[in-house]
Homo-oligomer: A and B are copies of this chain.
Amino acid sequence: MAKRTDMPTRTPPAGRRTTIRAAAAKTPKAASAKLAAERPAANRAEKSAERRAAIVAAAMDEFIARGFAATRLDDVAKRAGVAKGTLYLHFKDKESMFEELIRTAVVPLIDRMAAPPQITGPVRDAVERFAETFIHEIAETRRGDIIRLIVAEGPRFPAIADFYFREVVSRGMAAMRALIQLAITRGEIRQRELAQFPQLIVAPAIVAVIWQSLFARHAPLDALAMFRVHLDLIFGERRTA
């Protein structure tokens, strides 16, 4: 396989940067203003957390771009601006790194979904707000790539597929089903069978995510407009917004 060809903005050779001798007004407690010239105050714990964050970000980029098997930890380290050994101070091995990464990345999804749906008006409005959030913050951002990554690697990482199903899919399905049922009792939705297949509500969003990854360059997709038409199908057409 070809080696890296991109690798934008080569990060400097890590935090060697000794002898900076910044004219920092030394605080009484921390005489550690040497390396901390760049950032205000960074003690050991903070720096470690920063490094970990850098590793996580770098690993995310690489895994998304190449998938699990084709990602080289040397590249992750280089992109994070650390030595390879440092990776192993934060993660047991490549596989744990990958799984932990996915888990971390999925948490925002869960939080977003766990927010109470705010049903102060028509159910359709709640669903539409939900869809706007999803499309704006997931389908059109890097989080969408994570969903694609789960689809791609799920079969080889059952632990990840299980986790995702348990934490996101089944919960989201339950929430959707409740919403559908509410809408049915209110007379907003006529198809009672829809409650059996909450997947139908979110299917266009999933397709939008995939489309953006694979075909955006061929034919850009206005995911939100598409979803609004989809809602018209479910709730019946309506004019005002």
Contact A210 B214 (CB under 8 A): no
A178 nearest CB across to chain B (Å): 17
Tell me how many chains of this kind the complex includes: 2
Binary B-proximity of A212-241 (CB < 8 A = 1, otherwise 0): 011100110100011001101110010000
A90: interface (CB < 8 Å):
no
> In the complex, how many angstroms separate the beta carbon of A84 from the nearest chain B beta carbon?
14
Find chain B residues with CB under 8 A from A66 CB.
Answer: 69, 156
Interface size range on A against B: 35 or more
Chain B proximity mask over A29-44: 1 for CB below 8 Å, otherwise 0:
0000000000000000
Q: CA–CA, A13 to B45, complex, Å?
A: 48
| Residue in contact with A194 in the complex, picked from B194, B214, B221, B233, CB distance below 8 Å | B233
A5 within 8 A of B: yes
Assess the B193–A229 pair: CB atoms within 8 A: yes
Residues of B within 8 A of A194 (CB): 229, 233
A54-62, A75-83, A146-154: which one contacts chain B? Answer: A146-154
Q: Can you give 18 contacting A-B residue pairs, CB < 8 Å? A: A5-B93, A7-B156, A66-B156, A70-B156, A148-B151, A148-B155, A152-B152, A155-B213, A161-B214, A161-B215, A170-B218, A191-B233, A193-B232, A194-B233, A197-B204, A200-B204, A206-B206, A207-B207
A176-192 interface code vs B (CB 8 A; 1 in, 0 out): 00000000000000110
Q: Within the complex, what minimum Cβ distance (angstroms) separates A170 from chain B?
A: 7
Assess whether A137 is interfacial by the CB under 8 Å rule. Answer: no
Q: Which of B95, B150, B196, B221 is close to A199, meaning CB atoms less than 8 Å apart?
A: B221
A232 and B156 contacting across the interface, CB-CB below 8 Å: no
Q: How far, in Å, is A221 (CB) from chain B's closest CB?
A: 7
A151-B213, A197-B226, A203-B206 given; 7 more Cβ-contact pairs under 8 Å: A66-B69, A70-B156, A152-B153, A165-B215, A191-B232, A196-B225, A200-B226
Q: How far is the CA of A66 from the CA of B152 in the complex (A)?
A: 10
Residue A211 at the chain B interface, CB threshold 8 Å: yes
Nearest neighbor of A64 in chain B, beta-carbon distance:
B155
Least Cβ distance of A219 to chain B in Å? 7
Q: CA separation between A70 and B164, bound complex, in Å?
A: 22
A70 vs B94: C-alpha distance when bound (angstroms): 14
B-contacting residues, A73-127, CB 8 Å: 93-95
